[in-house]
């Protein structure tokens, strides 16, 4: 396919790829317009999609369209890949060793010792950085996983990836730095950020810590601890932001340097939401001042367990 010469030409070619993928996937009486709408919106609009009570025919319709959108996503990824510069297309995905190196300190600081090896292995295997090669692996992993919503996550992966190459239609807005559910996906442009406090790999993997359950890996579990880190849902983002910023703080060897670095966060950090900066920076500085900063972050964000009162003796 010849390269586009103008921005309008490029968007026209992208829309043509979407139309081709939808038509190619909509076989056996399925409507190409329904598949095409999914490719633009990520919405499952056909009969039988979503929750509720459905007839046998609607269930079959849902299965047919679900298969079709997976085919369409794979076709569209290949077609759009032809528009990506060769150098970017051939760039290898980020190595597992690099991902593991970024996550090791967080896992060691937050996860009980008997679970750390499994947690680090799973977080590393489940984290993808979405350059072209990484996005191809991530998309296939989501579509093959069998998890509910894998096709919707694959839709996000596709447009996050091609958004970094200027190949997202104007109708599709994809401002996120990453996606985390059963897997963690990191935008390539966010991975390459120059913010000294930012590490989206750590941020998205931190979310996996409060999604994944040790018992699913045959690990002995503790009473009242269901996940690797039981974060209160109100603090999900605070926890992830604090983990990524503090993982940068601990790269400074001397305590004085760590504290100085943490103190400058409100002025020098550029990629964090300003609405949360005051609370976040205060937590990161408190962690930098403490003997065990990861414990500070954990105690500020985990679910508070209310101890059950002991049963007293009752008089006959």
Residue 120 inside a domain? The answer is: yes
User: What values do phi and psi take at 185, rounded to 5?
Assistant: -125, 130
> What's the pLDDT at 50?
74
In this structure, are 185 and 240 located in the same domain?
yes
d(CA 27, CA 70): 13
Residue 65 inside a domain? The answer is: yes
In this structure, are 297 and 183 located in the same domain?
yes
In this structure, are 204 and 67 located in the same domain?
no
Q: pTM of this prediction?
A: 0.90
Side-chain-side CA neighbours of residue 190 (13 Å): 25
Cβ neighbours of 24 (radius 10 Å): 16
> What's the pLDDT at 113?
95
Residue 90 inside a domain? The answer is: no
In this structure, are 113 and 222 located in the same domain?
yes
Per-residue pLDDT tens digits for 244-295: 999 999 999 999 999 999 999 999 999 999 999 999 999 999 999 999 999 9
Domain boundary among the residues 55, 83, 111 is at 83
In this structure, are 106 and 238 located in the same domain?
yes
> What's the pLDDT at 306?
60
In this structure, are 113 and 260 located in the same domain?
yes
Question: What separation, in Å, do the N-terminal and C-terminal C-alpha atoms of the chain show?
Answer: 88
Longest dimension (CA), the chain: 91
130: β partners: 187
Per-residue pLDDT tens digits for 41-72: 999 999 888 766 678 888 899 999 999 999 99
Domain with 52 in it: 7-83
In this structure, are 63 and 209 located in the same domain?
no
In this structure, are 77 and 113 located in the same domain?
no
Residue 144 inside a domain? The answer is: no
Q: Structural domain tally of the chain?
A: 2
In this structure, are 73 and 200 located in the same domain?
no
What value does the mean pLDDT of the chain take? 92
Residue 21 inside a domain? The answer is: yes
In this structure, are 28 and 101 located in the same domain?
no
Residue 146 inside a domain? The answer is: no
Side-chain-side CA neighbours of residue 1 (13 Å): 19
d(CA 132, CA 136): 6
d(CA 128, CA 135): 7
Domain boundary among the residues 21, 53, 83 is at 83
> What's the pLDDT at 8?
78
Spans of the chain below 70 pLDDT: 1-5, 51-53, 305-316
């Amino acid at each position: 396919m010849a390269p586009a010469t103008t921005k309008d030409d490029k968007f026209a070619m992208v829309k043509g790829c979407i139309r081709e993928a939808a038509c190619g996937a909509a076989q056996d009486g399925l409507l190409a317009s329904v598949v095409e709408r999914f490719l633009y919106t990520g919405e499952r609009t056909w009969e039988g999609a979503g929750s509720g009570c459905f007839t046998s025919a609607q269930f079959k319709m849902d299965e047919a369209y679900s298969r079709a959108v997976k085919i369409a996503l794979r076709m569209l990824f290949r077609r759009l890949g032809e528009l990506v510069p060769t150098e970017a297309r051939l760039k290898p995905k980020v190595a597992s060793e690099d991902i593991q190196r970024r996550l090791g300190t967080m896992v060691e600081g937050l996860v009980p010792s008997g679970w750390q090896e499994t947690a680090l292995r799973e977080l590393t295997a489940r984290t993808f950085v979405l350059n072209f090669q990484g996005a191809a692996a991530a998309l296939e992993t989501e579509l093959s996983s069998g998890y509910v919503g894998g096709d919707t996550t694959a839709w996000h992966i596709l447009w996050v990836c091609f958004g970094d190459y200027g190949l997202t239609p104007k109708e599709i807005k994809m401002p996120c730095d990453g996606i985390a559910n059963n897997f963690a996906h990191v935008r390539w442009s966010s991975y390459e950020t120059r913010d000294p406090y930012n590490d989206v790999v750590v941020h998205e993997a931190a979310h996996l810590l409060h999604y994944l359950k040790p018992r699913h890996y045959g690990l002995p579990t503790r009473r009242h601890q269901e996940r690797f880190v039981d974060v209160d849902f109100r603090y999900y983002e605070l926890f992830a932001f604090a983990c990524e910023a503090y993982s940068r703080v601990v790269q400074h060897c001397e305590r004085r340097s760590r504290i100085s670095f943490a103190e400058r966060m409100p002025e020098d950090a550029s990629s964090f939401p300003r609405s949360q900066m005051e609370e976040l920076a205060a937590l990161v500085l408190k962690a930098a001042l403490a003997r065990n900063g990861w414990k500070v972050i954990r105690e500020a964000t985990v679910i508070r367990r209310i101890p059950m009162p002991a049963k007293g003796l009752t008089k006959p």
